[in-house]
Structure 1
Amino acid sequence: MKPYLEGHYTPVPDEATATGLTVRGSLPAELRGRYLRNGHNPKPGVTPSHWFKGSGMVHGVRLVDGRAEWYRNRWVRTPALDGDTSHDLKASVAGTHVIGHAGRILALQEANLPYELTPELDTVGAFDFHGKLTTAMTAHPKEDPATGELHFFSYSPFPPHLIYYVSSTAGEISRVEVVDGAGPSLMHDFGLTENHVVWLDLPVVFDPAEQSGIPYRWSDDYRPRIGVMPRVGAPEVTWFEVEPGALLHVGNAYEDAQGRVVVEGPRYDRAAWETSWKWWVGAPGHGPEPLTGAVSHRWTLDVASGTAREEMLDVLTTEFPTINEDLLGRATRFGYAVAFPGSGHEGYSIVKYDNVSGSRQLAPMGERRMPGEAVFVPSGQGEDEGYLLTIVSDLARDTSELLVLDATDIRRDPVAVVELPRRVPAGIHGSWIPDSEPAWVMDVERDAERA
């Protein structure tokens, strides 16, 4: 049995809907919207060659007026769900992320077009930004909190290796730029600051000999670099050579008081990457966890001097870093992540980092309980005034819960716990889509009129 088909990752065999969910504690009244979380869930009898190749399934919980109105899970109905493995941009597994943009819910997977979903998680179809997107789209777009624009990219093992896009708040692509100088590396994420775009050209590179279906492999011969490109003007990149390391997810990127560009996230060395990859493909010798040895790092890039400095921030094995996205691209004091077993840490926890004091808080989940990515929802003016939403897979009880944690002190008991009608498999990324988002409100009203 492949490790990504058992334990916390055991797929569910069907779709379900439940209403009037039981809530322990008190759901904050300001939580009006949908918590959506995507992940890989192949159909019964299907064994994908790689964890990332499993078909996407979105799980959602609707919160309103202190109630948990419904839970739903739906496969994203793409050609890949029915076995189409062609290179057609529509043949997506759509299983990495799910976001809201311009009144649409989009399920994402970086090798293909995004897929639009209804507010009830049914599949509308591939979305190509009204014909303007003719390449794949990253699963990690960034919304500028000041402008509402969505910044994203497409990467490819073949030239042009990197294309940069910007979409308006109305969902219209307003900028397309080929970025010269990038190579055939696996560019899963990127950084966006107030004034720059940050590109990751690191040593996991295209290798057609890789047989897992994801044709990338660590290369000691590839020169690892991080690129800094001004957001305004020509797409000219200043490249900084850095130590060999892989970075799947950027926690945040920003400019410091000296104008240097700072990038933060969980870094893999070669041993950590290759051990994790063995789990992702189910190769002999894989460890018990999908993510091994990724630890929080910071890169400080000085465009004026052309120098780069790298430092390790913590020893915990962490992944799925998040922040208060109202501050994306700005210096942040607080960050959040999932802590995995390793470096003396037992079990799974949510961790909160304080970048000013250097301290951390841990919220252990308990025996055989694994949380997913913790999504921050603001409730006040302070950076950490808000809630963390995460779905916990509980193997002991064969069930799951949506936890609502007080982000100011995650060590406290949860503010509320929503009991879900089934165990939700451990997944990848998700989003909180509030009812208050203007474009989203219009979309809900439009769908109500159709009904």
Structure 2
Amino acid sequence: MSSKPYLIGHYTPAVDEISATGLTVEGLLPPELTGRLIRNSHNPKAGITPTHWFKGSGMVHGIRLRDGRAEWYRNRWVRTPALEGAPYITEHGPDLTASTAGTHVIEHGGKLLALCESNFPFELTPDLDTVGAYDFNGKLRTAMTAHPKTDPATGELHFFGSSPFPPFLTYHVASPEGEIEYSIDIPGATASLKHDFAITRDYVVFIEGNVTFDPSEHSGIPYSWSDVQPARIGIMPRGRDGATAIRWFPIEPGNMLHTSNAFQDAQGRVILEGPTVDREGFTLSWNWWIGAPERGTEPNTRSFTRRWTVDLAAGTVDERIVDDLAVEFPTLNEAFLGAENRYGYAVSFPDQNGFGGYGIVKYDRTTGARRIHQAGDARLPSEAVFVPAAGALNEDDGYLLSVVSDLKQDASRLLVLDASDLKQVAAVVLPRRVTGGIHGSWIPDTALDLSEEG
């Protein structure tokens, strides 16, 4: 058995693809949950030991809910050239189709897309079969971030492609129908690792931390912490000409993988929040990702929620840690993406001393309160995906969907929590223990063409 932490325990890869129907439901599934929860994971094939967790081939897990029933579960590898061993770097440069496609799954313009930030997206069918690499009808010529943003007001998809070589950062906007409207290179960007970003109603917010391209790093992911690389926030007006007016603001050293949200307050300041690690926290996570963790540590053990307030008029940034709980995978009611949200959600992790545990956290930004749904002994919840309730009146009227890995029972369940109080509404018993993974999405039936559904 491998000693790599990302190949054992909660992260033990599935060795096959299965389909199961007529799943057992505990409690009552709300009828508005009619669609698919699709979640991605790094899942190398049997006999393959990647040098880094992120190098594992992508496997998507889908759970189909309809009219109070759990109709099916199925898991499928995303069939990219990399799954069969094709190299990313070729004699002609990077092969943007040689993707793990193991980070995220989204829907846009009626297409399901499996994402990995160094490659093209891969299109999937509603039954999770692979269609192939998707380049927006030839208009996408860079990699695509695994964290695009759908503007809830316009339906446009905002995303970027980053590279360790110039141009370091290219920003794209696609129409609600999936046609790229424009692409612009961002001046002043560096080779800093850019995994996520944010939008507000008027701005695009880029984050450059202290983790940057390092060709001497041989784990297969050529990035490392650098005290020389400046940490910065870039604020760019939205629109085709926004890049000419981008401004970069220095911040304290650190690295952010995922933004919680960004918005403009009543004074016109840009507020950005998200879990962030310092150098020690990054080192602890990185060592886990490459399979050399310190005893008892896990990734995200020093990942604390941080808030930046960027005063564009004064040219200043106020920065502070707003919570001392180790969390990652922040989510929200995406109707509030880019606008001021009161509530946010995340997954909690044990800290570097082993205190605390896994759970699903709800934050109230107005009162500063937090509530935790404890996962329980040897149980790891996945990112909590928010789904609005029918007829919702309040921001937190809805449900949180999370796939929980239970090591003691060697089983998994899809947990449905009331987003207002984190109490369990229902659970779906899955036919296998689902590998601990990363990101996913709720895809309502209304977003997909189901005329040929299997």
Using the size of structure 1 for normalisation, the TM-score is 0.96
**2:143 aligned residue:** 136
Q: 2:287 aligns with which of 261, 278, 287?
A: 278
CA drift at 1:284: 5.4
**1:318 aligned residue:** 327
Structure 1 CA distance for aligned equivalents of residues 139 and 295 of structure 2 = 42
User: Is residue 245 from structure 1 mapped to residue 254 from structure 2 by the alignment?
Assistant: yes
CA drift at 1:301: 0.5
Q: 2:278 aligns with which of 262, 269, 282?
A: 269
User: Is residue 54 from structure 1 mapped to residue 71 from structure 2 by the alignment?
Assistant: no
SS of residue matched to 1:228: strand
Aligned CA-pair RMSD? 1.1
Residue type of the partner of 2:6? Y
Change in Cα spacing, 1:286 to 1:134, as seen in structure 2 (3 Å) is farther
CA drift at 1:237: 1.0
SS of residue matched to 1:4: helix
Q: 2:412 aligns with which of 375, 382, 400?
A: 400
User: Is residue 444 from structure 1 mapped to residue 450 from structure 2 by the alignment?
Assistant: yes
Identity of matched residues, %:
61
Residue by residue over 1:277-331, the C-alpha shift from the partner in whole angstroms, topping out at 9 and shown as x without a partner, is: 0000012536431222000110011111110010111101000000000110000
SS of residue matched to 1:273: helix
SS of residue matched to 1:315: coil
**1:307 aligned residue:** 316
Structure 2 CA distance for aligned equivalents of residues 84 and 327 of structure 1 = 40
Using the size of structure 2 for normalisation, the TM-score is 0.96
Contact 2:296/2:354 (8 A) holds in 1? no
Contact 1:273/1:292 (8 A) holds in 2? no
Residue type of the partner of 1:409? D
Residue type of the partner of 1:312? I
User: Is residue 409 from structure 1 mapped to residue 415 from structure 2 by the alignment?
Assistant: no
Change in Cα spacing, 1:344 to 1:76, as seen in structure 2 (3 Å) is closer
**2:109 aligned residue:** 102
User: Is residue 385 from structure 1 mapped to residue 391 from structure 2 by the alignment?
Assistant: no
Residue type of the partner of 2:22? G
SS of residue matched to 1:415: strand
User: Is residue 234 from structure 1 mapped to residue 234 from structure 2 by the alignment?
Assistant: no
Change in Cα spacing, 1:286 to 1:212, as seen in structure 2 (3 Å) is farther
Contact 2:195/2:258 (8 A) holds in 1? yes
Contact 1:51/1:281 (8 A) holds in 2? yes
**1:363 aligned residue:** 373
Structure 1 CA distance for aligned equivalents of residues 59 and 297 of structure 2 = 23
Question: Runs ≥4 in structure 1, deviation > 4 angstroms?
Answer: none
Structure 1 CA distance for aligned equivalents of residues 296 and 175 of structure 2 = 43
Structure 2 CA distance for aligned equivalents of residues 319 and 24 of structure 1 = 28
Structure 1 CA distance for aligned equivalents of residues 173 and 346 of structure 2 = 27
Structure 1 CA distance for aligned equivalents of residues 350 and 198 of structure 2 = 27
Residue by residue over 1:355-411, the C-alpha shift from the partner in whole angstroms, topping out at 9 and shown as x without a partner, is: 00000000001100010100000111210000000000000000000000000001x
Structure 1 CA distance for aligned equivalents of residues 77 and 354 of structure 2 = 37
**1:165 aligned residue:** 172
**2:228 aligned residue:** 221
User: Is residue 205 from structure 1 mapped to residue 215 from structure 2 by the alignment?
Assistant: no
CA drift at 1:345: 4.5
Paired positions, count: 442
Contact 1:275/1:286 (8 A) holds in 2? no
SS of residue matched to 1:326: helix
Structure 2 CA distance for aligned equivalents of residues 286 and 115 of structure 1 = 37
User: Is residue 72 from structure 1 mapped to residue 74 from structure 2 by the alignment?
Assistant: yes
Structure 2 CA distance for aligned equivalents of residues 284 and 15 of structure 1 = 30
User: Is residue 298 from structure 1 mapped to residue 307 from structure 2 by the alignment?
Assistant: yes
Structure 2 CA distance for aligned equivalents of residues 273 and 284 of structure 1 = 12
Structure 1 CA distance for aligned equivalents of residues 295 and 207 of structure 2 = 26
